[in-house]
Every structure is written in C-alpha cells, then in structure tokens.
Chain A
Amino acid sequence: EIVLTQSPPTLSLSPGDRATLSCRASQSVSSHLAWYQQKPGQAPRLLIYDASNRATGIPARFSGSVSGTDFTLTISSLEPEDFAVYHCQLRSNWPPVITFGQGTRLEIK
C-alpha cells in the first residue's frame, strides 16, 4: 500500500512569499500525481495533474514538479486567495486504489 506523506502539516507565510509544499510517496510510483486546493466549506479544486500540468484556469504561479518519489507544489508569490488546504493524490494501476495525503494547511502568518 502506497502512503503519501505531506509536509509540513501547516505552513505559515505572508502574501507575496513563495510556498513550497511537499508530498512524498512511500515507494516508487508513477508520475500520475494530482494536487488539489480546498477552502473551508468548499469542494476541492484540481490544480495540477500528472505531477506538473496545470489544470484549466489555474494561474501560472502554481507549478508542480517531481524528483523520484518526492512531489512538490510551488506557489511562486502567494495571493490572499491562496491560503487554503492542499491535498495530493495518487492512483494505483489496477484495480483502482486511490491514495490521498493528509493535507497541508497554508495559513497567513
């Protein structure tokens, strides 16, 4: 069973700062990792798919990368609306098993 570990659990930054969020897989995996943003009381929103592709309508300040089993979501310059919880997600091959990380809360410092 693949485990996704997100770090840090909470990240306190200011608008304009650069945010780096990590998602580490417990074993060698494919690059089919997705990132989601979720605000309180709202549905998760797809940000990044296949580790580095921005979803439709997602601003260019959001980017994703991968190195081995380490996936990173970077927000180049935080806007006030970016403070939220971020989740990573990975899928198995077959049968379908979907794994989510425990989330990183990005809060205003």
Chain B
Amino acid sequence: EVQLVESGGGLIQPGGSLTLSCAASGFSVSNNYMNWVRQAPGKGLEWVSVIYTGGSTYYSDSVKGRFTISRDNSKNTVYLQMNNVRVEDAAVYHCARAYSTYLDWFDPWGQGTLVTVSS
C-alpha cells in the first residue's frame, strides 16, 4: 500500500528550529517528486517545497532561505528542516508525492503533522 506518514510536529517558539519527517511506504522517495504542503488553521492549502529525483529543490517565496527539504533514501524518508520559524508558519504540514516535473497534481498525501508557533 502506498502511504506517507509525517511526524516531528510540535510547539516551537518564534525564531526556533524544527525538523519534520515523512516516511514513505509502497514506493521509493528517491524515484519520485516529493513535496511539503501546509495548511494554516482555517486557511487553504499552501505549497511549500519540492525535492526532485536528481536532488534539485525549490521553495515558495514565504519559506525560501529558512526551510530546507532533504531526503534519506536508505530510510525512504523526506525531511523539512524549519529554521527561524515565524508565527505565520503555524500549520498542519502534509507531505505529498507529485506527478510530473511540473507538479501537475499530488497523490498520495500524508495526514499531516501540526506545527504550533508561540512564545
């Protein structure tokens, strides 16, 4: 069964750091375009980042320079390192596999992990 399971969310102070994990099963993250998408409370979905099969990475303007996406092929896991976290980064963070280089659509998605930012 193709599945994604996120972990690592929690309460963090503004300016702090946190690393989220996304463990995949049923397919290899190294052969797919893996993404993070977040959803702030009461808001819509917001794409955050992608890591391509060749290792190239892209970020939304809102997180560029602060977040880093990576993967560990041996653990079949994708990560999101969040640094200098802001109040507006509070959200449920989902990982999702994208179809095509252009990220035409996302399937499957993980259930998400909640990041709360507060002092």
- CB-CB < 8 A to A34: which residues of B? 104-106
A46 interface residue per 8 A CB criterion: yes
Number of interchain pairs (Cβ within 8 Å): 64
> Do residues A96 and B58 form an inter-chain contact, with CB atoms below 8 A?
yes
Question: Contact check: which of A46, A50, A93, A94 meets B106 at CB < 8 Å?
Answer: A46
A13 → chain B closest CB, angstroms: 21
> Do residues B99 and A100 form an inter-chain contact, with CB atoms below 8 A?
no
Complex-state Cα separation, A94 to B106, whole angstroms: 17
> Do residues A45 and B109 form an inter-chain contact, with CB atoms below 8 A?
yes
A61 → chain B closest CB, angstroms: 19
> Do residues B110 and A100 form an inter-chain contact, with CB atoms below 8 A?
no
B contacts with A: majority SS: strand
A89-B45, A100-B45 as given contacts; A43 in contact with B102, CB under 8 Å: no
Complex-state Cα separation, A91 to B102, whole angstroms: 7
B60 → chain A closest CB, angstroms: 8
Q: Count of chain B residues with Cβ under 8 Å from any Cβ of A?
A: 24
A44, A46, A89, A102: residue with the most chain B Cβ atoms closer than 10 Å: A44
- CB-CB < 8 A to A36: which residues of B? 45, 106
Complex-state Cα separation, A65 to B108, whole angstroms: 22
> Do residues B112 and A46 form an inter-chain contact, with CB atoms below 8 A?
no
Q: Which residue of B lies closest to A35 (CB)?
A: B105
B94, B105, B112: residue with the most chain A Cβ atoms closer than 10 Å: B105
The size bracket of the interface on A is 20 to 34
A15 interface residue per 8 A CB criterion: no
Q: Which residue of A lies closest to B46 (CB)?
A: A100
A42-B111, A43-B109, A44-B94 as given contacts; A96 in contact with B102, CB under 8 Å: yes
Complex-state Cα separation, A100 to B44, whole angstroms: 7
A32 → chain B closest CB, angstroms: 5
Q: Which residue of B lies closest to A44 (CB)?
A: B109
Question: What would 5 more interface pairs be, CB under 8 Å, given A46-B107, A92-B102?
Answer: A41-B111, A43-B94, A43-B108, A98-B47, A102-B43
A residues touching B (Cβ–Cβ < 8 Å)? 32, 34, 36, 41-46, 49-50, 55, 87, 89, 91-103
What are 16 pairs between A and B in contact, CB < 8 Å? A32-B102, A42-B111, A43-B109, A44-B94, A44-B106, A49-B99, A50-B105, A55-B107, A91-B102, A96-B50, A96-B102, A98-B47, A100-B45, A100-B47, A102-B44, A103-B44
